[in-house]
Homo-oligomer: A and B are copies of this chain.
């Protein structure tokens, strides 16, 4: 083991955008507090940016700016590297270089962790250094640490998360003001809740990365973003929202991680899709751009963690919480808990995942149609919880809510419905979550 660190702990910051500038500000403002909490002074040694000439807040010490990120992390005297650049490269190379050079790493990089987390974990273990990433999921909300540590003596069964503020804002607007998806998205863009190119949010890529991270931690199994079934919210219509309201439900984009114990193996799954949840569910009251993660475990029961899921200052708070732990570990020449993969569960295919469907079907209004539609579900061995007809004549619509069944059987049923002569169109298919079967 290397000798203990007796000088100030030197921190390198990679990136100085909305999160990085808040990290730099808080490091400056809270120098004394941070030093007291760590047990040694914390010194910001350099900030790597792409465009040093860009105008910055007065809080940012411009003499620390550099464009040579690699030189900064490998200069030999850096104890902790904070990576808030985002994206896969150059973030990955810089993190690996930092670990090789003996620095521990704090990162907010969900995309990289979800794509290639094991490489980072292994590099950290090989270097006897930490990699911490509370800020990567749900911003300021402490969820990584509770999963890694607080629930370490429990068995997590399911995680349901609202982990993307943009989509929650859009769906909340659709629910509260009756807007369609496009209008709600425009309003979100106008208010800065959505980016000009909203793809990563509305198509569920951001949430899928977080789902992979949450599933890995919850189930002690490597789950990458390639294992995550992903559907975004672009197909969610005003009519879906009304359907949900009629059921006493609300539509949310959920990241869902589940485990299912079989005879010999435990299967786990991670998926992201819009779903109807009952308004009585704690997640239903998560409004606007807020995030929340709902955890069900054997012994603890139902827990929920709620807070701002994004934003410079909240994310910086999570980064600094990790910094204190990682810096304390450096002082003692130890590392915290690393990757935990001992359970090594099998990843279930989406088709085998057990879900419930809400299906709205425009049908001919004549006797026998309900029975023939119900028959289609029965053929796939799917039990129907409720079926009701809304509207008459040309407006006749059947709304079916199923019990839990394999997703492949439900999908096959929906395909079969579209071929029925008495079915004019399947207007909406959405999964139902947050109810016990």
Chain A contact residues, CB within 8 Å of chain B: 22, 26, 30, 33-34, 36-37, 134, 140-142, 145-146, 149-155, 220, 282, 285, 297-308, 311, 313-314, 316-325, 328, 332, 334, 337, 340, 342-343
Residues of the B chain whose Cβ atoms lie less than 8 Å from the Cβ of A141: 303
Residues of the B chain whose Cβ atoms lie less than 8 Å from the Cβ of A323: 153
| Cβ B30 vs Cβ A153 within 8 A | yes
Contact residue among B145, B321, B342 (Cβ-Cβ distance under 8 Å from A36):
B342
Pairs A–B under 8 Å by Cβ, sample size 27: A34-B153, A36-B343, A37-B152, A37-B340, A140-B301, A142-B142, A142-B146, A145-B146, A149-B324, A153-B316, A153-B317, A153-B319, A153-B321, A153-B323, A282-B285, A285-B285, A299-B313, A299-B317, A299-B320, A300-B307, A300-B317, A300-B318, A301-B314, A303-B307, A304-B306, A305-B306, A332-B334
Question: Complex Cα distance A280/B37, Å?
Answer: 35
Question: Complex Cα distance A313/B154, Å?
Answer: 10
Q: Which 3 pairs show the lowest CB-CB distances between chains A and B?
A: A153-B320, A142-B150, A140-B300
Least CB distance from A19 to B in Å reads: 11
Residues of the B chain whose Cβ atoms lie less than 8 Å from the Cβ of A33: 155, 342-343
Least CB distance from A366 to B in Å reads: 45
Least CB distance from A355 to B in Å reads: 25
Given A149-B324, A300-B313, 15 further pairs, Cβ under 8 A: A26-B153, A33-B155, A37-B220, A37-B337, A142-B146, A145-B149, A145-B150, A149-B325, A151-B317, A152-B325, A154-B321, A285-B285, A301-B307, A301-B308, A303-B307
Question: Complex Cα distance A199/B173, Å?
Answer: 46
Contact residue among B220, B299, B322, B332 (Cβ-Cβ distance under 8 Å from A314):
B299
| Cβ A37 vs Cβ B151 within 8 A | no
Least CB distance from A58 to B in Å reads: 18
Residues of the B chain whose Cβ atoms lie less than 8 Å from the Cβ of A155: 30, 33
Question: Complex Cα distance A146/B148, Å?
Answer: 12
Residues of the B chain whose Cβ atoms lie less than 8 Å from the Cβ of A22: 299
Please, which residue of chain B has its CB at the minimum distance from the CB of A340?
Answer: B37
Question: Complex Cα distance A30/B343, Å?
Answer: 12
Please, which residue of chain B has its CB at the minimum distance from the CB of A26?
Answer: B299
Contact residue among B142, B303, B316, B325 (Cβ-Cβ distance under 8 Å from A140):
B303
Residues of the B chain whose Cβ atoms lie less than 8 Å from the Cβ of A334: 332, 334
| Cβ B140 vs Cβ A299 within 8 A | yes
Question: Complex Cα distance A303/B304, Å?
Answer: 11
Question: Complex Cα distance A305/B305, Å?
Answer: 5
Residues of the B chain whose Cβ atoms lie less than 8 Å from the Cβ of A320: 152-154, 299
Least CB distance from A76 to B in Å reads: 25
Please, which residue of chain B has its CB at the minimum distance from the CB of A324?
Answer: B152
Least CB distance from A34 to B in Å reads: 6
